[in-house]
Structure 1
Amino acid sequence: MRKLRKYTVRNAFKGFLPKRSDFETVEEQIPTLQNGEFLIKTEYISVDPYMRSFANGRRTPYDQFGFQVGKVIESKNSEYPTGVYVVSHSGWRDFAVLNGEPDDMFNMKPYQPPIGDLPISISLGALGMPGMTAYLGLLEICKPKRNNIICVTSAAGAVGLLVGQIARLKGCTVIGFTGSDEKVHILKQEYGFHHVFNYKSTTNIRDTLKLIAPSGINCFFDNVGGELSAAIMDCMQENGQVAICGSISNYGDSSSHHIKQKYHYKIEAFSFTQWEWSEQSHALTQLKIWIDKGDIKVKETVTDGFEKLPHAFVGMLKGENVGKAVVKI
């Protein structure tokens, strides 16, 4: 019988960055398919910040979760015939047996990605969960208007890179924060961000923002939390909107950073799962139109090899990627 390989988390992560020794590679027999089941051969696996956050408090050992895309190579389910590509939340494994039911974490059914002639890996990034998150979080929560000033943290990441480009398409002035001078250059020269700052070397973020937006920031799309986000929130406009997508700076950190001034704007934490599939699929359709037209550019950082998954995960958490981080299996 054929075997699959998968990663389990053997030790609970201590601190922000997991260690290679926290993971164990396990082999299992691939079971004979039952009626309604289908077998996927994985081609790409996603590494994302939520994997670190959702690990907190989880009992070990557990199978490492995550989104992946692969081809159906055997099927006893007419909705998932042999030869189609399927995106699923079936984790770090090179083969997956599924039955078409929603996953336990996000309650999403496996689906065939609407990518057309684009590379299949895009179904884990701009045309996947990060795309849905960027599109719906910005347009449904922030509701930007032309000439608004939009600020986004982790601007070179999978979500932030899309948020900035969508905001630009809506006629907004886009301010991005990132972690290196190289990324500052890339975001300004290649992706159309109007102002970009290396938060590590910007001495006074509040004063910097007040020079650009003396009347305040209309919308803040936050991916990082911590002191940087607190400084940006101090510069929000009356009745502005803060969309809390993530707080990667605090994952694995028991300390917290407080906003000093009284709230005078709306703050909403969100997940892409709060929208129905009809809204999620609409977001993917519109994003594909923009990508096909060249209005949005897609960037991926691809790591090659199943054995490199922990390395790619840690690299993403350290900010080594531009755009979406994926692993080719």
Structure 2
Amino acid sequence: MNDLQFSRHRRLRSTASIRSLVRENHLRTDDLIYPLFVVEGEGVRNEVSSMPGVYHLSIDNLRAEMDEVVQLGIKSVLLFGVPDEKDECGTQAYHEHGIVQVATRFIKEHFPEVVVIADTCLCEYTSHGHCGVIENGNVKNDPSLELLVKTAVSQAQAGADIIAPSNMMDGFVAAIRAGLDEAGFEDIPVMSYAVKYASAFYGPFREAAESTPQFGDRKSYQMDPANRLEAMREAESDVAEGADFLIVKPGMPYLDIVRDVKNNFNLPVVIYNVSGEYSMVKAAAQNGWIDERGIVMEMLTGMKRAGADLIITYHAKDAARWLKEQ
């Protein structure tokens, strides 16, 4: 055996301290963005049936949730609104007293240090469940941009720190950037859903956001899961139009895309660990089939390794607890 020539890679794995010393990627609580679903009414704290541990929260129950978020050290939340009333044009998305606007003002009043990211889309607010204006059964691009700009400006006026448009209309970043600047919000960043696939992993979210399309699907504006080069074209357009962050959504099935985006663009990259990914882990854990903590921490670390700077995840509170215990 003394004549063999080989490398001793295990030397750097021999103890926990050495493994920690040479670890290449680190997950931090600061990396986590926690999504919240806010609803109208009072006394509402209803668990989403397909997303254990995720709740619809009315404003009066939002304070307790935010107390926990802050105590855990999570510094950013992403707000989704579920209105009581919907119409063809998604009026509640840009109403001064829309549910996201009210929730934003509440959080900024009571938790001013928390970064509030407002999801800017229409699907939760339209009666047809699509992310834009419908004409003759088609989602029209340019008329939709006008409403998205109104929504973004309304959210900024309510105190949102970051605008996160998720609609995948062509030109949405350029339109929103121009609208924010014209309204005096030049310093509000745009966290663009730059690369958003038409994914089967969104199912539980559509229950949570009550945003299932009432006809057809979203494949005419969200991306084909088979396409890789298209992701670069989408991201490149958003960078040119003034995006400040680039989101890749979903997460686990698209880690190659995260790495491509990270390698090609000099902006913070955000990965969205979406509802279907979350629900699969939760279901398997509840059946005792997996080690939930081990799976979640490995998954989130893998997203960091792929190139994500920030992670939007429903696991954020659990991950923050586990990070505190390490």
The answer to whether the superposition gives a TM-score over 0.5 is no
TM-score scaled by length of structure 1 = 0.30
